[in-house]
């Protein structure tokens, strides 16, 4: 049996919202790095948080 699909809703609680964003940001950075290494391409990831803080990730230095 597979997992059931969960509905995607906005997180209203500010603390939970920030924690989820932080975890997702880490996971996206990890995936960006993996794709950069595996495919030998340059990727840049730019994110703007709810509080207007800029986060960026650029792959390995060439």
pLDDT recorded at residue 16: 92
CATH superfamily of this structure's domain 14-58: Transcription factor, MADS-box (3.40.1810.10)
Q: Where are the domains of the chain?
A: 14-58
Q: Per-residue pLDDT tens, the chain, 62 aa: give them.
A: 688 998 999 989 989 988 998 898 889 888 888 888 899 888 888 888 878 888 887 876 55
Q: What is the pLDDT of residue 62?
A: 52
DSSP 2-56: PPPPPPP----SHHHHHHHHHHHHHHHHHHHHHHHHHHT---EEEEE-TT--EEE
């Amino acid at each position: 049996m597979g997992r059931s699909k969960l509905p995607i809703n906005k997180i209203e609680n500010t603390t939970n919202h920030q924690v989820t964003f932080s975890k997702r940001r880490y996971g996206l950075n990890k995936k960006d790095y993996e794709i950069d290494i595996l495919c030998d391409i340059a990727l840049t990831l730019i994110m703007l948080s709810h509080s207007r803080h800029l986060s960026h990730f650029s792959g390995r230095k060439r």
